[in-house]
Structure 1
Amino acid sequence: MKQPVEGFSRLTKNQKIDWLAKAYFANPEKAVTIFKKYWNDDEKLQKLHDEFIENTITNYYLPLGIAPNFLINDRLYTIPMAIEESSVVAAAGKAAKFWSKRGGFKAEVIATEKIGQVHFIYKGDSERLQNYFTHIKPGLFNDTETITGNMKKRGGGIIDIELRDKTDELENYYQLHCTFNTLDAMGANFINSCLEQFAKTFKEGAVEYTAFNAEEKKIQIIMSILSNYVPDCRVKAAVSCKVDALNEDRMPPEEFADKFVRAVEIARIEPYRAVTHNKGIMNGVDAVVLATGNDFRAVEAGVHAYAAKDGKYTSLTRASVKDGTFRFEMEIPLTLGTVGGLTSLHPLVKLSLEMLGNPSAPELMQIVAVAGLAQNFAAIRSLITTGIQKGHMKMHLLNILNQLHATEEEKEYFVRYFKDKTATHRSVTEAFYRLREKA
């Protein structure tokens, strides 16, 4: 039976790997070799990566690919994408090329407001609490001046603070609902620092507030934390063209447009389809978010919450045909930064941002939204024409061959062999062993 390890964080990286290998792997030497194989030879660069998180033992690589030919608001972009899933980058590039010939993508930022909350318990008269909030609110702003000074100079800072009564949902529960503009920073540290100061000022001020009785002075702060649900930090992306320009899929344009709109409508009303539909959007979104050093988990949580904002999980995209024009669009919340965090530390993040022209946070919001819309267009286009598996499995072919330990010559042979065939796992495996038997 394994025993807990004491003082693990104080061990060196080599000591951590040795302990891990001996405790959990049948072949410790092989495990150590693989872990160390992914270390960077540049010691300074490796140390940088080691310090991103705690208890680092090695680097976990994801491919960084590029999707060219994205025409966004009449400007051409090559978009970096960090992702492990086959066909995503190719699909994005194909969609970008398709729409570059039809006016490109249009994108606009609707709002950039971010949210944080101080959650607290108050046992007393709600009207007296409201009076106290009105009294203390200027102090909440004043006591955060040292935190907000630089942000305010650049045009950002705290937008507003509201008192919200949530006692109908949880006994004695109230919150300070706070909104912020963090400009080009994602803003998590800034927001959380402000919130913690709000909590301190709010709690201490209650003790001195003479209109409160003894029980009301005992405000209990539960927690102070930003929210990753940002319905007022949104971006819109869209494409449109005449229906008769949808003429590249061996299907009459009118039929293509009709099936496309129907497919999106199905995702609008059917949650089982909507989840997979939106996952396809996030293939594009997450890949760019990762490549630019942003928090894809926060983005995922916020986007999926937005998809269910009306009480039912639904499609994030909309499609329509009106007066002979096909239109496909999406509106999603995104909290992104182009300064701070990994954006100024990770060398590949720096190059990814430079590749995009060193965008501001609002510009990056537009690029990321477009990548998601393009990915969704590519997926639906495949589904209603050739089917998703033909293209997906063709891109997955090399993964299957690598699992079979195929040689380079065998890989070249099977790429040619499956050029006009559907490459399923079974068909590839059977063809592979037939070839081996003949050798």
Structure 2
Amino acid sequence: MNTPVEGFSKLSKTQKIDWIATNCTKDPKQTKMLLQQYWNSDPRVQQLHDEFIENTISNYYLPFAVAPNFLINDRLYAIPMAIEESSVVAAASKAAKFWLERGGFKTEVLGTEKVGQVHFMYRGEQNKLTDFFNSVRPKLITSVASITQSMEKRGGGINDIVLRNLTDKIEGYHQLHCTFETLDAMGANFINSCLEQFAKTLKEEAQNHKAFTKEEKNIEVVMSILSNYVPNCLVRAEVSCPVSELGSDDMPADEFAQKFVQAVNIAKAEPYRAVTHNKGIMNGIDAVVLATGNDFRAVEAGVHAFAAKEGQYSSLTHATVEDGIFRFWIEVPLALGTVGGLTSLHPLVKLALEILQNPSAKELMQIMAVAGLAQNFAAVRSLVTTGIQKGHMKMHLLNMLNQLGATESEKQELVTYFKDKTITNASVKEALEQLKSM
């Protein structure tokens, strides 16, 4: 077992690797070879990657794929996706092709408002705090003029600052609830800079407010931070077609439509199902978030909070059949950026945005919502017809064969063998053993 180390961050990259290999692994030589194997051959590119985060010792690769044939608002896209899970890209591509022939996806951005809060404690008369806030609100806005100037020139900035009394939840707890427009930037640094200045100005002005008692002057700022819950930064994506166009060899159109709607309704009513249902949606969204250099942790947190906004965790997608028309749609909050951060640094992120025809943040919201909707359509379609494992295990077959050490010729032969057979770990292992014994 490794022992504590002093000054690890000050070690060179080689020294970090030596320490990790010697103290944390059974085969230091093999560890060093593995870590170096994933370095970029161009030292300049590797240095760029090394400087993204701290204590880097190598690169962690994910497959970078493309799902083609997405028709979104009559514009054709190939969507880059970075993900490790088998069948996600294939399922999205299959759904894209299906809806390409039925008018494609229609999308609309419903809002782009982002949120930040100054959390503070005030133990005094509420009417005094309200009067104080009303008087100091203009000063809060002018105090960040140097921060907001550039954003305002592009049409963004502060939308509003509202005082909230939350003493029913925690004694003395209040907040400045602030909303922002950050355009094509995700805006985290911009928002947090504004919030910290708001907090400073709030405290300074409270000290000089004549109506406050000595105790009331001592407003205690607990923290100032943006929120990743952005219910008003919302996008909608939808597909529709006559029920008659949903038929396939697996199931008649009417039966498929009815079962599909029921499956979605189950996910709306049952949290255990809803979590997995929405995880499938995020398979598509997260893959595009990663490929475009956005923050998938922030997106995930905000999306799942939105899924529970009615007090119970529920489906993000909805489906109906009315007057012979099948409709399937999603409304999802997505706070994204196409400038700043990794978008201008990571070579593959820049390529992904180029493949997407250099979208604005609003356009990227729509593309990601479509990726999530397509993924969900493919998953639910499989669930109510052939079952999820048939397609998933076929896509997973190569991973299984690689784990079992199959040669290239053995992989080719077994892929053909399992085209019309049920795939399980046991059946693949047995088939490979039989092939090797021949």
**Under a length normalisation based on structure 2, what TM-score does the superposition of the two structures give?**
0.99
Contact 1:96–1:374 (CA<8 Å) still a contact in 2? yes
- How many angstroms apart in 2 are the aligned matches of 1:18 and 1:433? 40
2:408 aligned partner: 408
The CA deviation at 1:307 is 0.4
- The answer for the alignment partner of 2:78 in structure 1 is 78
Tell me the equivalent position of 1:137.
137
Which structure 2 residues correspond to residues 247-396 of structure 1 after superposition, within 5 A? 247-396=247-396
Structure-2 separation of matches of 1:377 and 1:295: 24
Match of 2:182 in 1: 182
- CA 1:52 to 1:411, structure 2 compared with 1: closer, same or farther past 3 Å? same
Q: 1:419 is paired with a residue of what secondary structure?
A: helix
**Partner Cα separation in structure 2 for residue 171 and residue 165 of structure 1:** 10
Shift of 1:251: 1.3
* Letter aligned with residue 229 of structure 1: Y
Shifted more, 398-407 versus 81-90: the winner is 398-407
2: CA distance, partners of 1:342 / 1:421: 44
Q: AA paired with 2:125?
A: D
Matched, 1:198 2:198: yes
1:249 Cα offset (Å): 4.0
Give the corresponding residue for 1:117. 117
Alpha-carbon distance between aligned partners in 1 of 2:287 and 2:278, rounded to the nearest angstrom = 14
Q: Is the 8 A contact 2:2 2:24 kept in 1?
A: no
Q: How many angstroms apart in 2 are the aligned matches of 1:278 and 1:3?
A: 41
The residue number in structure 1 matching 2:223 is 223
Shift of 1:434: 1.3
Structure 1 residue 151, shift from structure 2 partner: 0.3
Q: Is 1:432 aligned to 2:425, yes or no?
A: no
Query: How far apart, in 1, do the equivalents of 2:249 and 2:189 lie?
Result: 48
CA distance in 2, matches of 1:102, 1:2: 59
| Further displaced range: 243-252 or 7-16 | 243-252
Normalising by structure 1, report the TM-score. 0.99
Q: d(CA) in 2 for partners of 1:167 and 1:437? A: 74
Alpha-carbon shift at residue 433 of structure 1 (Å): 1.1
The alpha-carbon deviation at position 2 of structure 1 amounts to 3.9
Q: Does 2:226 align with 1:234?
A: no
Gaps of at least 5 residues in structure 1 are none
Letter in 2 for 1:354: E
CA distance in 2: counterparts of 1:266 and 1:310, whole angstroms: 16
**Equivalent position of 2:210 in the other structure:** 210
Unaligned 5+ residue runs, structure 2? Answer: none
Q: How many residues align?
A: 438
Q: CA deviation at 1:413?
A: 0.6
8 Å contact kept, 2:156–2:181: yes
2:262 & 2:75 partners in 1: Cα distance? 31
Deviates more, 1:175-184 or 1:399-408: 399-408
Rounded Cα–Cα distance in structure 1 between residues aligned with 2:248 and 2:197: 58
Secondary structure at 1:215 match in 2: helix
Residues of 1 paired with 2:154 and 2:268: CA distance? 40
Tell me the C-alpha RMSD between the 2 structures.
Answer: 0.7
* Partner amino acid, structure 1, of 2:184: D
Alpha carbons 1:249, 1:385 under 8 Å: kept: no
Q: 2:3–2:23: 8 Å Cα contact kept in structure 1? A: no
Structure 2 equivalent of residue 6 of structure 1: 6
Matched, 1:397 2:397: yes
2:166 is equivalent to residue 173 of structure 1? no
1:50 and 2:50 are equivalent in the alignment: yes
Amino acid at match of 2:398: L
Aligned-partner Cα distance in 1 for 2:103–2:84: 30
Instruction: Mark the CA change 1:400 to 1:284 in structure 2 (over 3 Å): closer, same or farther.
Output: same
AA at the equivalent of 1:109 = V
What is the identity, as a one-letter code, of the residue corresponding to 2:279? K
Which letter does structure 2 place at the counterpart of 1:36?
Q
Structure 1 runs, 4 residues or longer, greater than 4 Å off: none
**Alignment match, 1:148:** 148
Q: Secondary structure at the match of 1:236?
A: strand
Percent identical pairs in the alignment equals: 69
Partner Cα separation in structure 1 for residue 298 and residue 28 of structure 2? 36
* Cα distance between partner residues in 2 of 1:82 and 1:2: 33
Counterpart of 1:32 in structure 2 is: 32
Distance, in Å, in 1 between the alignment partners of 2:97 and 2:249 is 14
Output one character per residue of 1:244-265: Cα deviation in whole Å (capped at 9) or x when no partner.
0112343110001001001001
Structure 1 equivalent of residue 422 of structure 2: 422
Corresponding letter in the other structure for 2:256: F
User: Does the 8 Å CA contact 2:113/2:233 hold for their aligned counterparts?
Assistant: yes
2:20 partner letter: L
* 1:123 CA drift (Å): 1.4
Query: What's the CA shift string for 1:77-106, capped at 9, x where partnerless?
Result: 000000000000000000000000000000
Q: Which amino acid aligns with 1:216?
A: E
